[in-house]
Structure 1
Amino acid sequence: MDLLKVADYMHRHPVTFTVDMPVELAVDRLIKGRQTGGPVVDLDNKIIGFVSEQDCLARMLMSTYHDQQSARVADVMITQVLTVKPYDGVIDLAQTMLKLKPKLYPVVDDDGYLLGIITRSDVLGAIDKELHSHYRRVV
């Protein structure tokens, strides 16, 4: 199972966001892309933040109650982003996911440029696929 690498299971074309994007547009992208969150990138595709459904929901509710104008992604994103590298092991990531909350991790190169994302479902699927291949060999 040490051979399971993030690069083999990541999504290479994730939904991304910019700091100046309205939260409503971010929500639309999350819904259409079926992602629970996503990386905020600069013009060079380098990660500068992360925005989640929960971040957007909180801001939209607040805007509804207080009849406020639309917020931008910069107003709701977090800047401390947990990322993984394409050469990281899926098993190691699974163990990290058991300890930390994110359901989705941006995959970055060594310079912090976005390569894709990997989700908890992707990790679970990778491990399940590997286990099933071992079951077939034993039977």
Structure 2
Amino acid sequence: MESLQVSEHMNLRPVTFTQAMPVAEAVERLLQSKQTGGPVVNDKNKVIGFLSEQDCIVQMIESSYYREQVAQVKDIMVTEVKTVKPYMSVIELTQKMMVEKPKVYPVIDDDGYLLGTINRSSLLNAIDLQLRDGYKRAS
């Protein structure tokens, strides 16, 4: 199972955002994609932040209270982003996710360019497939 790599199970079409994007537009993207968050990228597709549903909920509540929607993604995104490499082991990442908070990790190459994302559901699915395959071979 150690041979399972992130690249085999990552989302190749993650929802992404730009710094200057209005939060309302970011929320629309999240809702349409049915994803819980995604990387904020610059014009070269390098990861510079992360925006989650939680970040947007807080901003939307504040916007409704003050009746203004002027915030941009750069105002609420997380800038200390935990990322993973495509060649990382699924098991290693699963162990990391058991102690760290992010539910979604951007997958980047060695130069910091976004390749995709991987989330807990993808990891669970990868491990489940591996275990079922192992049970079939053992039978």
TM-score category by the smaller chain?
Answer: over 0.9
Per-residue deviation, residues 64-121 of structure 1 (Å, max 9, x unmatched): 1122232100011010000000000000000011001111100000111100001100
Q: Sequence identity of aligned pairs in percent?
A: 55
Question: Match for residue 97 of structure 2?
Answer: 97
**C-alpha displacement at 1:13, in angstroms?**
1.5
Gaps of 5+ in 2: none
Moved over 4 A (4+): none
The answer on 1:120 being equivalent to 2:120 is: yes
Question: Match for residue 44 of structure 1?
Answer: 44
- Letter in structure 2 aligned against 1:59: Q
**C-alpha displacement at 1:128, in angstroms?**
0.3
The answer on 1:134 being equivalent to 2:134 is: yes
What is the rounded CA distance, in whole Å, between the counterparts of 2:74 and 2:97 in structure 1? 26
What is the rounded CA distance, in whole Å, between the counterparts of 2:23 and 2:69 in structure 1? 11
**C-alpha displacement at 1:11, in angstroms?**
1.0
Question: Match for residue 31 of structure 2?
Answer: 31
TM-score, scaled relative to structure 2: 0.98
TM-score, scaled relative to structure 1: 0.98
Gaps of 5+ in 1: none
The answer on 1:13 being equivalent to 2:16 is: no
- Letter in structure 2 aligned against 1:75: D
- Letter in structure 2 aligned against 1:127: I
Question: Match for residue 70 of structure 1?
Answer: 70
Equivalent residues of 2:24, 2:69 under 8 A apart: no
Aligned to 2:20, the other structure's residue is in SS state coil
Question: Match for residue 108 of structure 1?
Answer: 108
**C-alpha displacement at 1:12, in angstroms?**
1.1
What is the rounded CA distance, in whole Å, between the counterparts of 1:128 and 1:92 in structure 2? 15
Question: Match for residue 53 of structure 2?
Answer: 53
